[in-house]
Protein backbone atom coordinates (compact mmCIF):
# COMPACT_ATOMS: atom_id res chain seq x y z
CA UNK A 1 0.00 0.00 0.00
CA UNK A 2 1.00 3.65 -0.37
CA UNK A 3 1.84 5.60 2.80
CA UNK A 4 3.59 8.76 3.95
CA UNK A 5 6.88 7.46 5.33
CA UNK A 6 9.79 8.89 7.30
CA UNK A 7 12.82 6.63 6.67
CA UNK A 8 14.53 7.88 9.85
CA UNK A 9 14.43 10.80 12.31
CA UNK A 10 15.20 13.94 10.36
CA UNK A 11 13.78 16.99 8.61
CA UNK A 12 10.33 16.97 7.03
CA UNK A 13 11.99 17.19 3.59
CA UNK A 14 12.89 13.48 3.86
CA UNK A 15 9.20 12.44 3.89
CA UNK A 16 8.15 10.34 0.93
CA UNK A 17 4.98 8.64 -0.27
CA UNK A 18 6.05 5.08 -0.98
CA UNK A 19 5.00 1.43 -0.79
CA UNK A 20 5.01 -0.32 2.58
CA UNK A 21 3.42 -3.62 3.64
CA UNK A 22 -0.32 -3.40 4.31
CA UNK A 23 -0.91 -3.97 8.04
CA UNK A 24 -2.62 -7.19 9.03
CA UNK A 25 -5.24 -6.99 11.79
CA UNK A 26 -4.31 -9.13 14.78
CA UNK A 27 -6.77 -10.48 17.34
CA UNK A 28 -9.29 -7.79 18.41
CA UNK A 29 -7.96 -5.42 15.71
CA UNK A 30 -9.77 -3.73 12.85
CA UNK A 31 -8.24 -3.04 9.44
CA UNK A 32 -9.46 0.31 8.08
CA UNK A 33 -9.32 1.38 4.44
CA UNK A 34 -8.48 5.02 5.07
CA UNK A 35 -10.53 7.69 3.29
CA UNK A 36 -9.19 10.72 5.19
CA UNK A 37 -6.48 11.36 7.77
CA UNK A 38 -5.99 14.57 9.76
CA UNK A 39 -2.68 16.26 10.57
CA UNK A 40 -1.67 17.16 14.11
CA UNK A 41 1.34 19.11 15.46
CA UNK A 42 2.61 15.88 17.04
CA UNK A 43 2.99 14.28 13.59
CA UNK A 44 5.75 16.70 12.65
CA UNK A 45 7.40 16.37 16.09
CA UNK A 46 7.54 12.57 15.72
CA UNK A 47 9.13 12.82 12.27
CA UNK A 48 11.93 15.13 13.34
CA UNK A 49 12.44 13.19 16.58
CA UNK A 50 11.66 16.11 18.87
CA UNK A 51 9.75 13.77 21.21
CA UNK A 52 11.82 10.61 20.84
CA UNK A 53 12.32 10.34 24.62
CA UNK A 54 8.57 10.26 25.28
CA UNK A 55 7.25 8.80 22.03
CA UNK A 56 9.96 6.81 20.24
CA UNK A 57 8.91 5.52 16.82
CA UNK A 58 10.21 2.63 14.70
CA UNK A 59 11.44 3.28 11.16
CA UNK A 60 10.36 3.30 8.43
CA UNK A 61 7.68 5.33 10.23
CA UNK A 62 4.22 5.77 8.72
CA UNK A 63 2.97 9.21 9.81
CA UNK A 64 -0.46 10.05 11.27
CA UNK A 65 -2.73 9.12 14.15
CA UNK A 66 -6.29 10.18 13.24
CA UNK A 67 -8.31 8.64 10.43
CA UNK A 68 -11.72 7.92 9.04
CA UNK A 69 -12.57 5.22 6.55
CA UNK A 70 -14.32 1.93 6.07
CA UNK A 71 -13.62 -1.37 7.82
CA UNK A 72 -11.81 -3.60 5.31
CA UNK A 73 -11.40 -6.66 7.53
CA UNK A 74 -11.48 -7.64 11.18
CA UNK A 75 -9.13 -9.82 13.21
CA UNK A 76 -10.14 -12.69 15.47
CA UNK A 77 -12.50 -11.87 18.35
CA UNK A 78 -13.73 -8.54 16.95
CA UNK A 79 -17.39 -8.46 17.90
CA UNK A 80 -18.68 -4.95 17.21
CA UNK A 81 -17.49 -4.21 13.67
CA UNK A 82 -17.69 -5.86 10.25
CA UNK A 83 -16.28 -5.19 6.79
CA UNK A 84 -17.99 -2.19 5.22
CA UNK A 85 -18.70 -0.27 8.45
CA UNK A 86 -17.76 3.44 8.26
CA UNK A 87 -15.54 4.37 11.21
CA UNK A 88 -13.23 6.99 12.69
CA UNK A 89 -10.25 6.13 14.84
CA UNK A 90 -7.21 7.24 16.80
CA UNK A 91 -4.29 4.84 16.27
CA UNK A 92 -1.82 6.59 18.57
CA UNK A 93 0.48 6.52 15.49
CA UNK A 94 1.01 2.74 15.66
CA UNK A 95 0.48 2.18 12.80
CA UNK A 96 0.18 5.54 11.04
CA UNK A 97 -2.94 6.78 9.29
CA UNK A 98 -1.53 8.72 6.32
CA UNK A 99 -1.77 5.51 4.37
CA UNK A 100 -4.21 3.47 2.34
CA UNK A 101 -4.80 1.15 5.30
CA UNK A 102 -4.34 1.32 9.06
CA UNK A 103 -5.35 -0.80 12.04
CA UNK A 104 -6.84 0.01 15.43
CA UNK A 105 -7.75 -2.13 18.43
CA UNK A 106 -11.49 -2.57 18.95
CA UNK A 107 -12.37 -0.35 21.91
CA UNK A 108 -12.63 3.32 22.84
CA UNK A 109 -10.20 4.53 20.13
CA UNK A 110 -12.60 3.59 17.32
CA UNK A 111 -16.20 4.67 16.73
CA UNK A 112 -18.86 4.29 14.09
CA UNK A 113 -19.00 7.24 11.71
CA UNK A 114 -22.53 8.59 11.96
CA UNK A 115 -24.58 9.20 8.81
CA UNK A 116 -24.08 12.75 7.57
CA UNK A 117 -20.51 13.03 8.83
CA UNK A 118 -18.10 12.99 5.88
CA UNK A 119 -14.70 11.25 6.18
CA UNK A 120 -12.68 14.50 6.23
CA UNK A 121 -14.56 16.09 9.15
CA UNK A 122 -14.66 12.72 10.94
CA UNK A 123 -10.87 12.42 10.77
CA UNK A 124 -10.48 16.07 11.76
CA UNK A 125 -12.42 15.74 15.00
CA UNK A 126 -10.62 12.75 16.54
CA UNK A 127 -7.66 14.05 18.60
CA UNK A 128 -8.94 17.61 18.64
CA UNK A 129 -12.36 16.89 20.13
CA UNK A 130 -11.02 14.26 22.54
CA UNK A 131 -8.32 16.66 23.76
CA UNK A 132 -10.68 19.63 23.92
CA UNK A 133 -12.99 17.55 26.11
CA UNK A 134 -10.08 16.64 28.43
CA UNK A 135 -9.16 20.34 28.66
CA UNK A 136 -12.69 21.36 29.61
CA UNK A 137 -12.89 18.46 32.10
CA UNK A 138 -9.72 19.89 33.70
CA UNK A 139 -11.44 23.25 34.13
CA UNK A 140 -13.96 21.52 36.40
CA UNK A 141 -17.65 22.32 36.84
CA UNK A 142 -18.93 25.81 37.51
CA UNK A 143 -20.82 27.80 34.93
CA UNK A 144 -20.41 31.56 34.89
CA UNK A 145 -16.67 31.56 35.23
CA UNK A 146 -14.43 33.32 32.73
CA UNK A 147 -11.76 31.41 30.80
CA UNK A 148 -9.12 32.77 28.43
CA UNK A 149 -8.29 30.36 25.59
CA UNK A 150 -4.93 31.04 23.90
CA UNK A 151 -4.75 29.23 20.55
CA UNK A 152 -8.54 29.18 20.24
CA UNK A 153 -8.85 28.86 16.47
CA UNK A 154 -6.67 25.74 16.02
CA UNK A 155 -7.82 22.15 16.23
CA UNK A 156 -7.91 21.68 20.01
CA UNK A 157 -8.81 25.32 20.64
CA UNK A 158 -11.91 25.21 18.46
CA UNK A 159 -13.33 22.32 20.49
CA UNK A 160 -12.22 23.86 23.78
CA UNK A 161 -14.10 27.06 22.96
CA UNK A 162 -17.22 25.18 21.88
CA UNK A 163 -17.31 22.81 24.85
CA UNK A 164 -16.44 25.49 27.43
CA UNK A 165 -19.05 27.95 26.15
CA UNK A 166 -21.70 25.22 26.04
CA UNK A 167 -20.79 24.38 29.65
CA UNK A 168 -21.73 27.96 30.54
CA UNK A 169 -18.28 29.51 30.78
CA UNK A 170 -17.59 32.99 29.44
CA UNK A 171 -14.82 32.46 26.88
CA UNK A 172 -12.24 35.05 25.89
CA UNK A 173 -10.56 33.70 22.74
CA UNK A 174 -7.44 34.72 20.85
CA UNK A 175 -7.85 35.00 17.08
CA UNK A 176 -6.38 36.84 14.13
CA UNK A 177 -8.72 39.52 12.74
CA UNK A 178 -9.73 37.24 9.83
CA UNK A 179 -10.75 34.55 12.32
CA UNK A 180 -12.66 36.77 14.77
CA UNK A 181 -16.09 35.87 13.39
CA UNK A 182 -15.10 32.19 13.41
CA UNK A 183 -14.11 32.41 17.09
CA UNK A 184 -17.41 34.10 17.96
CA UNK A 185 -19.33 31.44 16.04
CA UNK A 186 -17.56 28.79 18.11
CA UNK A 187 -18.89 30.47 21.25
CA UNK A 188 -16.35 33.13 22.25
CA UNK A 189 -17.91 36.03 24.12
CA UNK A 190 -14.85 38.23 23.46
CA UNK A 191 -12.11 37.96 20.88
CA UNK A 192 -8.54 39.14 21.48
CA UNK A 193 -6.40 39.88 18.42
CA UNK A 194 -3.07 38.46 19.62
CA UNK A 195 -1.33 39.82 16.53
CA UNK A 196 -2.07 43.44 17.44
CA UNK A 197 -2.51 43.51 21.23
CA UNK A 198 -0.92 41.97 24.29
CA UNK A 199 -3.18 39.00 25.07
CA UNK A 200 -2.75 39.10 28.85
CA UNK A 201 -3.18 42.86 29.13
CA UNK A 202 -6.34 42.71 27.02
CA UNK A 203 -7.71 39.79 29.07
CA UNK A 204 -7.16 41.79 32.27
CA UNK A 205 -8.98 44.74 30.73
CA UNK A 206 -11.94 42.45 29.96
CA UNK A 207 -11.75 40.66 33.34
CA UNK A 208 -10.15 43.16 35.76
CA UNK A 209 -10.01 40.71 38.71
CA UNK A 210 -8.26 38.16 36.49
CA UNK A 211 -9.85 35.29 34.62
CA UNK A 212 -10.80 32.17 36.56
CA UNK A 213 -8.68 30.05 34.24
CA UNK A 214 -6.37 30.25 31.26
CA UNK A 215 -6.24 27.46 28.71
CA UNK A 216 -2.90 27.92 26.96
CA UNK A 217 -2.45 25.77 23.86
CA UNK A 218 0.52 27.73 22.51
CA UNK A 219 3.14 28.46 25.19
CA UNK A 220 5.19 25.96 27.12
CA UNK A 221 7.46 25.85 30.16
CA UNK A 222 8.69 29.24 31.36
CA UNK A 223 6.62 31.11 28.79
CA UNK A 224 3.49 29.92 30.64
CA UNK A 225 4.32 32.25 33.55
CA UNK A 226 3.34 35.16 31.32
CA UNK A 227 -0.08 33.64 30.66
CA UNK A 228 -0.62 32.85 34.35
CA UNK A 229 -0.52 36.60 35.07
CA UNK A 230 -4.02 36.82 33.54
CA UNK A 231 -5.42 34.42 36.18
CA UNK A 232 -7.02 35.56 39.45
CA UNK A 233 -5.39 34.42 42.73
CA UNK A 234 -5.91 30.67 43.27
CA UNK A 235 -7.22 30.25 39.73
CA UNK A 236 -6.05 27.61 37.26
CA UNK A 237 -3.88 27.32 34.18
CA UNK A 238 -4.58 24.39 31.86
CA UNK A 239 -2.10 23.44 29.15
CA UNK A 240 -1.66 20.64 26.62
CA UNK A 241 2.10 21.14 26.78
CA UNK A 242 4.53 21.17 29.72
CA UNK A 243 5.46 23.62 32.46
CA UNK A 244 5.71 24.30 36.19
CA UNK A 245 3.16 22.94 38.66
CA UNK A 246 2.43 26.27 40.25
CA UNK A 247 2.64 29.96 39.54
CA UNK A 248 2.60 33.03 41.83
CA UNK A 249 -0.54 33.93 43.82
CA UNK A 250 -1.55 30.28 44.11
CA UNK A 251 -2.38 29.70 40.46
CA UNK A 252 -2.27 25.94 39.97
CA UNK A 253 -1.46 24.17 36.72
CA UNK A 254 -3.00 21.14 35.05
CA UNK A 255 -1.19 19.53 32.13
CA UNK A 256 -3.65 17.58 30.04
CA UNK A 257 -2.86 14.42 28.11
CA UNK A 258 -5.47 13.30 25.62
CA UNK A 259 -7.37 10.32 27.01
CA UNK A 260 -9.44 7.92 24.95
CA UNK A 261 -12.32 6.85 27.17
CA UNK A 262 -15.12 4.44 26.35
CA UNK A 263 -17.93 6.06 24.39
CA UNK A 264 -16.41 9.52 24.18
CA UNK A 265 -15.27 9.43 20.55
CA UNK A 266 -18.66 8.07 19.50
CA UNK A 267 -20.52 10.77 21.43
CA UNK A 268 -18.33 13.56 20.01
CA UNK A 269 -18.75 12.25 16.46
CA UNK A 270 -22.52 12.23 16.92
CA UNK A 271 -22.50 15.80 18.26
CA UNK A 272 -20.60 16.93 15.16
CA UNK A 273 -22.90 14.96 12.86
CA UNK A 274 -25.99 16.60 14.35
CA UNK A 275 -24.43 20.08 14.20
CA UNK A 276 -24.27 20.50 17.98
CA UNK A 277 -20.48 20.83 17.55
CA UNK A 278 -18.56 21.84 14.46
CA UNK A 279 -15.16 21.12 12.96
CA UNK A 280 -13.73 23.10 10.08
CA UNK A 281 -11.48 21.50 7.47
CA UNK A 282 -9.52 24.41 6.04
CA UNK A 283 -7.25 22.54 3.64
CA UNK A 284 -7.35 19.17 1.90
CA UNK A 285 -4.45 17.43 0.13
CA UNK A 286 -4.23 14.17 -1.83
CA UNK A 287 -2.02 11.41 -0.37
CA UNK A 288 0.51 12.02 -3.14
CA UNK A 289 0.89 15.58 -1.80
CA UNK A 290 1.11 14.53 1.87
CA UNK A 291 4.79 15.61 2.24
CA UNK A 292 3.78 19.10 1.12
CA UNK A 293 0.74 19.01 3.41
CA UNK A 294 2.80 18.28 6.52
CA UNK A 295 5.52 20.77 5.55
CA UNK A 296 2.99 23.57 5.01
CA UNK A 297 1.10 22.66 8.18
CA UNK A 298 4.31 22.66 10.25
CA UNK A 299 5.38 25.96 8.70
CA UNK A 300 2.16 27.53 9.99
CA UNK A 301 0.51 28.09 6.63
CA UNK A 302 -2.82 26.79 7.95
CA UNK A 303 -3.55 27.94 11.49
CA UNK A 304 -7.33 27.75 11.62
CA UNK A 305 -9.29 24.50 11.81
CA UNK A 306 -7.78 21.31 10.43
CA UNK A 307 -5.69 20.05 7.53
CA UNK A 308 -6.78 16.71 6.08
CA UNK A 309 -5.22 14.30 3.60
CA UNK A 310 -7.72 12.35 1.52
CA UNK A 311 -6.76 8.87 0.40
Ligand X SMILES: NC(=O)c1ccc[n+]([C@@H]2O[C@H](COP(=O)([O-])OP(=O)(O)OC[C@H]3O[C@@H](n4cnc5c(N)ncnc54)[C@H](OP(=O)(O)O)[C@@H]3O)[C@@H](O)[C@H]2O)c1
Summarize as ranges the residues that interact with ligand X (CB under 6 A).
Answer: 40-42, 127-128, 131, 150-151, 153-157, 174, 176, 194, 217-218, 240-241, 256-258, 303-304
Give the residue from 215, 258, 210, 259 showing the smallest Cα distance to 238.
215
- Pick between residue 222 and residue 257 the one whose CB is nearest to ligand X: 257
What burial class does residue 203 get, using C-beta atoms within 10 Å of its C-beta: 0-12 exposed, 13-18 middle, 19+ buried? buried
Using a CB cutoff of 8 Å and minimum separation of 24, what contacts does 255-258 make?
Answer: 256/131, 256/134, 256/135, 256/138, 257/134, 258/127, 258/130, 258/131, 258/134
Shorter beta-carbon distance to ligand X: residue 78 or 161: 161
Tell the smallest beta-carbon distance from residue 173 to ligand X (Å): 9
- The helix or strand, by DSSP H or E, that contains position 310, with its residue range, turns out to be strand 306-310
Min separation Cβ 161 and ligand X, Å: 11
User: Least distance (Å) from ligand X to the CB of residue 224?
Assistant: 12
- What does each C-alpha distance from 274 to 114, 122, 156, 297 come to in angstroms? 9, 12, 20, 28
Judged by beta carbon, residue 20 or residue 218, the one nearer ligand X is 218
Strands 61-62 and 2-6, bridge-based pairing:
antiparallel
Q: Least distance (Å) from ligand X to the CB of residue 8?
A: 22
Q: CB of residue 31 vs ligand X: minimum separation in angstroms?
A: 25
- The DSSP-derived string for 53-65 is TTS---SSEEP-S
Measured CA angle at 265 (ends 274, 160), to 5 deg: 75
Q: Which is nearer to ligand X, 85 or 193 (CB)?
A: 193
Closest residue to ligand X using C-beta atoms: 154
- At its nearest, how many Å lie between ligand X and the CB of residue 150? 5
- Of the two residues 72 and 152, which places its CB atom closer to ligand X in the complex? 152
Q: Which is nearer to ligand X, 38 or 287 (CB)?
A: 38
Amino acid sequence: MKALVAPSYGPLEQLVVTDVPTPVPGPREILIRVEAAALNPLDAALVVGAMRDVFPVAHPFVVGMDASGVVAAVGADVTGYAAGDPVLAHTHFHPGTLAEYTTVAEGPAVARRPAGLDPARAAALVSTALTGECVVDALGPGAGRTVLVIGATGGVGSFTVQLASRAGLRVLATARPDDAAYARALGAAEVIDHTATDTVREALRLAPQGVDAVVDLVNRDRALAGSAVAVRPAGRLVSTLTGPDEFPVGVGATYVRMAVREGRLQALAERVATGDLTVEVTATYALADAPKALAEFAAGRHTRGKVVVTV
